[in-house]
Chains A and B, each alone.
Chain A
């Protein structure tokens, strides 16, 4: 059995049929997972200033760049194993560097709340076994974590949910558009206006408190009625909700207080983003945006976005992430103007502007380790094919030695 690293569900029931050291066929993986396991068509090659070189020269050049940097940054690691993440954090510490990852503009704030135990949470296995009311909020699991509904939340039979989803479970979608997930939730789709989550939560809190909500009264009372009856509920918080309420997480806490039978589940995209957040949290008390001086200092100015806007970073190591694809265009000019070291299995937009590129093995096909699922469960990743590529963990080691 192999584990898929296509998203933070880390499906570990994948059968991969290997022929001539290539994955010929996958079973049980969804469309995205199958593509991921079969690998990208364009592998990265080592390069300096976009001219091909050997990996040793790339590593030497990287060391030269970061040693000369006044304020280096390590970014990414969400697509790396826990082992590589631990080494990355140590490397950042040694460099007195700033460290941040995609959770900085994704689910970081939510995961921080969960790790601080400010929000109640549970495991996906609990949800499969016990959950009767499921709320997909600003989350289109069908497209982002495609096997979420079939493996854990809606469709499977669980210990105390033996009769099938039509009788045992209710699925509710709250979103600005009728997503594929909302389509499955049929009669329980609540469409809200863009940025309307806050108002919706406030009205829902009123309805749950027995008051008459000012907003869409009939539907709100109906929803409150369903939620109140839940024996074991789950709210799947997608980035739609996270982006909408921004740093105003107290409002979600307030809602959670009104829903004592509910647990909050962060819907994470990158397969080991939670792993990064947990590792940094254990080390520093913060999930991202930290400068390791080497004492940890947390500040929004250490976020990737603010570091680039304020031009505070003068060299950046990007591991398994493609900020040129995921960041807004206005900050790309500065990103492309500083030396970027790109460590990735595949050619990416970031590798195209990088001063140095270092190819690495694709986790879970060419290298193993562990990763943390969206619910906090540790999942092991096994190597299924051999390759000439170094795992990113080893690259971190090599950089550490050389500094």
Chain B
């Protein structure tokens, strides 16, 4: 009998747990530890943030699904990993603290034979003074944040309706943020809503980003083949900004937010301030604050985790300049450094470096988008590691690892630009691979599969993905046939 423990019930962890349960016989246990009672389809939080969907449309309780599938569930947060066990037992263990209201504050040590760390991002609002729902900016990173964002947005719209001009700033709250796609989407959904409410003319809408160029999206931009010519995601994105009259401030590191102003530094080192009436800024992501201890209780956190808090895996972490980065730097198996029964998937693994060219201002401020780990790759990583574990359990510990490198796999990014079955629109992008590979492709990516399109169909795709992935996550009939 083998015990598999999965930390995190987001895109990657939940996918891994469902596949493990499907692949393993009932004599083996699969247990998920996650502090939230609910599963959240995070991409649709954007629509909650503009009031097109409610919280109930994007979350559902995990416990009934896990009970039906025979997966153990602890509503708790992992706080420490003991990969070599402790003085009582050499078997690996994880310390958890319950968040389930009836057991809040209680802790437990869970043993494992195989461990997947899929704890996603810690939202580091504290990185910028005044940022976040406890400060002066809204967020759409959780369903609750998105509900609040919509409430604040509605107050701004009421002021616009009363004839008061308003400035709305949407973007990235720090020079090292990732997830630019989410801010981009929210910008155009806000634009769509302002138009629908008939108040766009009084509103100034500004996209404030750490990207050095529009269309960078933290993946160093994309080159598309359009009517036989190479064009860039920068021109393509710029076109949408110009058409919708959205202003853009590029290469910005936000230093401080107050109730009325956002202070930022640009790549040229200059310092600026923009007044805001409404702001939604994505925070930088870090790893969850997990500790690690050896069997004697010595702190080995630095061996397992990078300073960012993300878990070190089979990537090449040698520091080297942008020009020397290669596709091979990226992890393939996601096995933790030094432990072949521990893996980190989704946002929880430490990337070897950025994908976009990192830049510093003359003041030494890092203004460099971190690499995005979007839904599709996160799900694929979860499934891949689940298959590795199932192979090991069935065929013995020497079964080879399955692989899924971000330098091989593709991603679809459908950035909603407004809802409505006939009035909606989205900027739909596909890229293959996510991490450019200049040895395989002259433009870094396969131009046949790397494309950007804007139109109503993008909205239909986004809506379809919403229903499809919630169906899959609920493990309904045939869920495994829906790709990650």
Q: Do A and B come from one complex?
A: no
Show the binding face of A for B, using Cβ within 8 Å: none
Show the binding face of B for A, using Cβ within 8 Å: none
